[in-house]
Chain A
Amino acid sequence: MQRVLTPAWWLADGGRRVGAIALVAGIVIAGPLLDGAGESFWMMALTRALILGVLAVATNVAWGVTGIFTLGQAVFFGVGAYVVGLLATREDVVALESLAGAALGAGLLCGLVVGAFLFFGRRRVGMLYVGLVTLALSYALERLASVWGEIGAGNGITGIPLPTLLGTEIEPGISFFWVAVVTLLVVLGLAWAVMRSQFGMVMRAIRDDDERAEFLGYRRPIVQLVVFAATGGVGALAGGLYALEEGFVSPTFLGVSLSTQVLIYVLLGGRDSLVGPLVGVLLLEVGGQRVQEELPTEWPIIVGAVLLLVILFLPNGLTQLGRRRRRAAAPRPETAAEVSGGDPRGE
């Protein structure tokens, strides 16, 4: 604890720590400021972005930290949204606690089922395999939801009321912003703890060389399953909150477009960075809000171009800007080993 009070701790890592704390503090202050200034449009945009931020942070833990290349993270988001939408409109469940719990549970369950299929029973689990299966799932579920009459088909579910929290009704306006902020802070806190834990080391080991990890004795499928299910649960929680905030659910919540959008947030902000995904979400969803409205057709092109520039010049995302360049280009051992091992006659 004492170290936290020294300037060195704050300035470590090229100011990224200060930047991250400032960002989070800025978000917390921005809500009431916007509300006070009567800017409820921007406050709601921020709220939406924060909920998408929860999804992005979870996706980053799965993909950026653990290397599970999921192209279908919207599946969890959509499942959470539908579960909440159906419970709220058909079963008259109004307690946020119950709705959030149901979304989380549904996401966990989905993660376990899909993850078991993805990670077990194969000796090698390639990036492409995981990407394609999750992408196909996202596509298929969006199609399914848009023709399935029981859950509203193409219209989705509408008229979802605002929930109650601990028995009291949540008012429209700033209240839901606080729900989003608290959820985001809790998720960020958990992600932070996990990323710097001993388990975080294992996650990165599996991302960087899963075969090596297996030869050390790590059971890769179990680690991947745990991460996939946990981040799926959080993704579903985000979807559930989004449904409550918007008051409706649409099949697009499950779809490929949202799935790729989440990857863009993560790429833009920085993989394996705690607040990076949040930076990505805020830039595109709040910063780009006006542009998005003025130039709806050009918007995807602009996003694509920005993304391309980031990938080319800042492969670790925008948050890399503050990162010290500590990873020296170490000589790959191949050459040395091959040269010396290449001659059977020894010396």
Chain B
Amino acid sequence: MAILEASEIVKRFGPVTALSGAGLQVEPTTIHGLIGPNGSGKSTLLHVIAGRTLPDGGRVVLDGADITRAKPAQRARAGMSIKFQLARVYHEQTVADNLLLALQVRDGIPSLVLSRTRRRHQERVRRLLDDFGLTHVRDHPAGELAHGEQQWLEIAMAMATEPKLLLLDEPTGGMNRHERERTGELIRAAATTCAVVIVEHDLDFIRDLCDRITVLHQGTLVASGTPVEIERDERVAEVYLTRV
């Protein structure tokens, strides 16, 4: 059974129709690429899935539960994590504290007030810092990090609670080649335990990384399949690949 099923999603912003019947079906522990030209509705689809905006039509089902109108916090608690297109970490708090923030989200308010779970999460914080190569900056305010490091920190935060579904909007934006490769490895490691949806402009990166690819164009689904199928697909070539 699919871990995520978004179907017939319609979303309008005033006169602009960002999504007109687009959909996305993601299988467990796969990496699913979401591609399409600028303004094709990729981020909007991700936001509808994550609950940042409510759709005007369609359904979003996470692991069998209809979450179309659920609040973002409910979705997060149901196992969904998102990394936004523009990295959004807490600049004034330290890198380690940003991770702790992500980890302690299910702890009750009394134990947070008494700081009772800080120690319990320490080991996991240490491992995440290590995995993402952020140990040397653990006590720096996150605002001091280089851009790529901020992206990693946000991915680490999104993965901290071991979600079922990880949504990544342009995780390699602003990264150099080496950083991209490292990000690819991190995403692959994440996908051993959860499904990943990744929006990217770098087609080589997507092709190497993804098990399946969905192509959007002007808010509708053009094609969905394996990287090989997508490369052969004529409609995709028409709207998208011809522009390469």
Contacts and interface: CB of A to CB of B under 8 A. Distances in A.
Interface of A: 123, 193-194, 196-199, 201-202, 204-205, 208-209, 211-220, 222-223, 226, 326-328, 330-331, 333-334, 336-337, 339-347
Interface string B51-92: 010000000000000000001110011000110111110111
For the complex, would chain A's binding face be called helix, strand, loop or mixed by DSSP majority? helix
Contact of B76 (A201, A208, A217, A340): A217
Given A212-B88, A216-B105, A217-B105, 10 more contacts: A215-B84, A219-B73, A327-B143, A333-B147, A337-B170, A340-B170, A340-B172, A340-B201, A341-B201, A345-B243
Interface in B34-66: 36-38, 50, 52
Q: B37, B71, B145, B147: which has the most chain A beta carbons within 10 Å?
A: B147
Interface string B106-131: 11010111110110000000000000
Contacts, number: 135
Interface stretch (B2-10, B94-102, B230-238): B94-102
A217 B81 CA distance: 9
25 contacts: A194-B113, A197-B112, A198-B117, A199-B109, A201-B100, A201-B101, A202-B112, A204-B92, A209-B90, A214-B73, A215-B84, A216-B101, A218-B105, A219-B73, A328-B141, A330-B143, A330-B144, A333-B150, A336-B174, A341-B170, A341-B201, A342-B38, A344-B243, A345-B244, A346-B205
Nearest to A190: B113
Given A333-B87, A343-B201, A215 B170 contact: no
A217 B106 contact: yes
B104 interface: yes
A333 B86 contact: yes
A223 B86 contact: no
A193 B84 CA distance: 33
Contacts of A342: 38
B93 to A, nearest CB: 6
A209 to B, nearest CB: 6
A223 B143 CA distance: 24
Given A202-B101, A226-B109, A336 B73 contact: no
Given A216-B76, A217-B105, A217-B106, A201 B93 contact: yes
B157 interface: yes
Interface of B: 36-38, 50, 52, 71-73, 76-77, 81-82, 84-88, 90-93, 97, 100-102, 104-107, 109, 111-115, 117-118, 141, 143-145, 147, 150-151, 157, 161, 170, 172-175, 201-205, 240, 243-244
Contacts of B144: 328, 330
Contacts of A344: 36-38, 201, 240, 243
